[in-house]
Structure 1
Amino acid sequence: MNFFFAIIFVLLFQFSYSQSKIKSISPSVDQKDSLNIQIIETLGKFLETQSSKFWIESDIKMFKFPYHELIGIESGKMGSNFYQPSLMEIISTGEDDKKIVKVAYIGYNEETESNLIKAIYNMIAVKIDGKIFFSKYINYVTKDWRIKNEDNLKYYISPTKNFSHDEVERQKADIKLLSEFFGVEKFPIFYYSAVSPEEVFKLKGFDYHPMMYTSDSGGFAEDYNIIISGNNSEYYTHEVVHLYTSKLFPGINSYFDEGIATYFGGSGKFDYQWQKEKLKKFLTENPDFDVLKHLNVYERLYFEKETPVPYVVSAVICEMIIAEFGRERLFTVFRNGTSAEDGFKVFNLNKNNVNSKLRRFLTLD
């Protein structure tokens, strides 16, 4: 009788697994281990539903959407569900009831008969009161990082970098300026200070991501007042601006969002004035450049490999608007989520004058 129920259990588990989103499981995963069985079952349910009920409550409170990196990750040029999750490893952390779960997103191209990998993602599985819950990898990987509290900033510092008090003071001064400009009190900011974009993506849970090696600087502003910096610096005003705009203008159009962030914080390792000088040079060398043909602020149009042209153009546009109309008029466009095209109309910018006005503002004409 017991043998019969054991067989039924195995069949039910296999059926449950076959219905889940897990495409395959590596032979290196011990599927006889009772904790692993629970993890696999819960992982399948989470991947199928992407429900927050499978994540620990503290992660929801701190990160709002702790698994947002996985939303839409199946999509690519080959289709909306081309990349499917495969369980690569379940690894011991040395702690009871806590393991690292490593998932790869892989697609098979039938034309070339080859596998394509999009990402390898880590999360932590924790057993609490008999149930499995997932947690962001950043909590685990930074458990031994140094912590420094500086005014409203809480720094988590990579063990591979030196902490700069001078950069902290610059950041505090910019936060004071931003609070005055946006008219709000400063708020707590959690700043993860890493040495490179590669380390940033590892903090976000990735062993591999296609954007890990495209630049030697960069980072992210996350929900709930979190900055993850890969600039080897305690100063990252560009991303701090995004924390302000996300709070005050949650529907802000990306063109204006990146513009105002670049206006205050520059881009990459260089401040706005440096980037603006590079833009002047770019426009001199490219007299036919048309602002209206480059309103995708994320277009990968770089000048001398350092200046993201759409970012800096949008920053200058923001500066022009503030100078002529004042910040409150600009805030109205931010608040309404107005597109770049419609926002230009609000400020009397159009195909007949925007390029000449930009050049005149930069004193190129």
Structure 2
Amino acid sequence: MIKIKFLSAVLILFFQLFYSQFKLKSISPSINQEDSLNVKIIETVERFLETQDPKYWLESDFKRFKSPYYEIIGIESGKMESNFYQPSLMEIIPTNEADKKIVKIAYIGYNEKTKSNLIKAIYNIIAVKRNNEIFLSKYIDYYTKDWIIKKEDNITYYVSPMKTYHIEEAEKQRKDIIQLSHFFKIEKFPILYYSATSPEEVFKLKGFDYHPMMYADTSGGFAADYGIIISGNNSEYYTHEIVHLYTAKLFPKIDPFFDEGMATYFGGSGKFDYQWQKEKLKKFLKENPDFDVLKHLNIYERLYFEKETPIPYVVSAVLCEMIISKFG
């Protein structure tokens, strides 16, 4: 236990040193710095940005999200150089709760060659007053405060008010979970499923008003620690990402190639199931006989066929199917 605590302390120190940022580059004149609460918020935000010390964050967030501010770890780096994008405080916005305010931070870099400013992202944090101290918190609860909540078996759905809840998709998801639990020999566990309309809304859930990737795709989402699914597919069905929750529990060191292969085998990829994807792979290989599969096993390579089939994902899924059919 002592060794584990020591290792945890070393890892926290490493992240603080490696990813430490600078003080706020600027503070918008629209922010009232004569307001005592705003002054406390600015002080806390600056200390956190300098150190990324977890002590400035609500402890309850770590119990729910494991790493509640991972989205901005390393965000100051870009193609220009490391630490190119510096944080600027844009707004401190009141909410309908006296002890909570929205803190809006922009990450902006100045290009000396072009004499122009470049924006990387705009990120929201909730500042919470507790016992005359300020703590920071993840934006997701505030953003989803008016979302519809539906409970289906072991899944709690948070449904965007901009979409319709589909009970038939939730039922299909329930049946898939029964099959997954049987295959992986693991009991069903609680899943928190955020059902958003699009990747743009997914990024807003994560706290971003703007991020360069929020318009890159028309569908997608991800699985997060502690049984969380965030879907931008306008659907209550996302078996691909739910598979990742199972593999994370059973095989925390699983190779990403096979992790995506298993997820694709059971849940397809994007809007299409595995059989559809496999037929597209067959077509792709027939049309590209010189294609060397072994040179394209990196699942982070954005290699798509007909804009729908991620080649490395499906290749891995085929290998998984072969292994399962032969060895069980």
Larger C-alpha radius of gyration, 1 or 2? 1
Match of 1:213 in 2: 215
Equivalences for 1:32-111 in 2 at 5 Å?
Answer: 32-111=34-113
Aligned position for 2:158: 156
Percent identity among equivalent residues? 76
| 8 A Cα contact 1:35 1:97, kept in partner | no
Conserved 8 A contact 2:149-2:159: yes
Q: 1:300 is aligned with what amino acid?
A: R
1:276 equivalent in structure 2: 278
Amino acid paired to 1:77? K
* RMSD across aligned positions (CA): 1.3
What is the Cα deviation at residue 233 of structure 1?
0.5
Give the corresponding residue for 2:144.
Answer: 142
- Can you list the C-alpha shifts for 1:33-71, whole angstroms capped at 9, x where unaligned? 111111111001111111221111221111111111111
| Stretches of 4+ aligned residues off by more than 4 angstroms | none
Cα deviations by residue, 1:10-37 (Å, 9 ceiling, x for unpaired): xxxxxxxxx9521211222222211111
Could you tell me which residue of structure 2 aligns to residue 260 of structure 1? 262
Contact 1:20 1:45 in 2 (8 A): no
Q: Distance in 2 between matches of 1:284 and 1:109?
A: 47
Which deviates more, 140-149 or 105-114?
105-114
Map residues 116-135 of structure 1 onto 2, 5 A cutoff.
116-135=118-137
**Aligned-partner Cα distance in 1 for 2:116–2:177:** 49
C-alpha distance in structure 1 between counterparts of 2:82 and 2:188, whole Å: 41
- d(CA) in 2 for partners of 1:190 and 1:281? 37
Of the candidates 230, 233, 245, which is equivalent to residue 231 of structure 1? 233
Question: Which residue number corresponds to residue 303 of structure 1?
Answer: 305
Contact 1:155 1:191 in 2 (8 A): yes
Q: Aligned partners of 1:84 and 1:266: how far apart in 2?
A: 39
**Corresponding residue for residue 173 of structure 2:** 171
- Distance in 1, Cα, partners of 2:214 & 2:117: 20
Aligned length: 308
What do residues 117-173 of structure 1 show as CA deviations (whole Å, max 9, x unaligned)?
Answer: 111110110111001111111100111111111110000011111111110111011
C-alpha contact 1:123 1:205 (8 A) present in aligned 2: yes
Instruction: Supply the distance in 1 between the matched residues of 2:303 and 2:159 (Cα, whole angstroms).
Output: 32
Q: How far apart, CA to CA, are the structure 1 residues paired with 2:310 and 2:95?
A: 41
SS at match of 2:61: helix
**SS in structure 2 at match of 1:247:** helix
In the TM superposition, residue 95 of structure 1 has moved relative to its aligned partner by: 1.8
**How many Å separate the matches in 2 of 1:278 and 1:23?**
50
Please give the TM-score of this superposition, normalised by the length of structure 1: 0.82
Once the two structures are TM-superposed, the CA of residue 320 in structure 1 deviates from its matched residue by 1.7
Q: Contact between 2:299 and 2:312, CA under 8 Å: does it hold in 1?
A: yes
SS in 2 for 1:210: coil
TM-score (norm 2): 0.91
- Asked if 2 retains the 8 angstrom alpha-carbon contact of 1:237 and 1:261, the reply is yes
Secondary structure of the residue that 2:322 maps to in structure 1? Answer: helix
- Which whole-Å CA distance do the structure 1 matches of 2:287 and 2:30 have between them? 56
Structure 1: unaligned runs, 5 residues or longer: 1-18, 327-365
Partners of 2:70 and 2:123 lie apart in 1 by 12
Contact 2:22 2:86 in 1 (8 A): no
Residue number in structure 2 paired with 1:115: 117
- In structure 1, give the amino acid aligned to 2:317: A
Q: Which residue does the alignment assign to 1:188?
A: 190
Q: Distance in 1 between matches of 2:246 and 2:213?
A: 25
CA shift for structure 1 position 325:
3.4
2:313 matches 1:285: no
Q: List alignment gaps of at least 5 residues for structure 2.
A: 1-20
Residue 125 of structure 2 aligns to a residue whose secondary structure is strand
